[in-house]
Amino acid sequence: MTVLGKNHLVTFAAKHSDARSTLSVWEKEVEAATWASPSDLKLRYPKASLVGKDNVVFNIGGGRYRLHVRVNYATSIVIVVRIGTHNDYDQWVF
């Protein structure tokens, strides 16, 4: 998969250093992945939340943070939409 919007990850990790290693691992795993469908994604990330047709929310840092991405399975593109704390997530609208 190709990950777009990595700048969001870098900016967030600069403010939340405890998330840095988890985000780095997530990024490498996603770039190596070949998801053809949401079920492929869920095989690797069973706790990820599928929201609507193409939105996915990952728990990062033991659930302290949420990472919202949009996945286009046909083009193998994952777009980082936003990342925030659990409290931020409570305010998000999908």
CB burial readout 28-41, b (16+ within 10 A) else e: eebeebebeeeeeb
Parse the chain into domains and list their residue ranges. 2-89
pLDDT in tens, 8-32: 999 999 999 999 999 999 999 999 9
pLDDT in tens, 39-60: 999 999 999 999 988 999 999 9
CA-to-CA distance for 10 and 40, rounded, in angstroms?
26
| CATH architecture of the region 2-89 | 2-Layer Sandwich (3.30)
| This prediction's pTM | 0.94
